[in-house]
Amino acid sequence: MELRQEVLAEMELLRGRTPDVTGSVACTVDGLQIACDLEGETGERAAALSAALLAMSSRMLTMTGRGTFEETLVSGTAGFVAFYAAGPTIVLTVLAGPGANVGLLRLEGRKTAASVAAVARKH
């Protein structure tokens, strides 16, 4: 099975385990989409923005001596967007609806990011 299919399978498992998750996208740290579980054609744009946010978050952590990037959570009036490091070369972006259980989102997001990182190591 190719990388895209395996990563997409992990993202679909995330959606199944976490009812408030509405979609996700996995991309390289350069913003190239690997797999997308979002409706419409927003995957490529979300991938590019994910890479930009990862770069800014990583820079902030380095500047303040807070270690390496693990996750960023953005809260909005209509829900959440969470970004997770999936190994050194992939970022996983997860969208959740308003009222989402943020603790569950963080737990399952990190678990899925670890699974995506393991899949990437195989390829």
Domain 3-122 architecture: 2-Layer Sandwich (3.30)
Provide the pLDDT for residue 1.
78
The one-character DSSP state at 21 is E
Provide the pLDDT for residue 121.
96
Domain boundaries, the chain: 3-122
- Distance, CA of 85 to CA of 92 (rounded, Å): 6
Enter the pTM of the model.
Answer: 0.95
Report the length, in residues, of the chain.
123
pLDDT digits (tens, 9 = 90+) for 8-25: 999 999 999 999 999 999
Which of the residues in the chain have pLDDT under 50? none
Contacts of 101 (CB under 8 A, 6+ apart): 20
Round the CA-based radius of gyration of the chain to a whole number and report it. 13
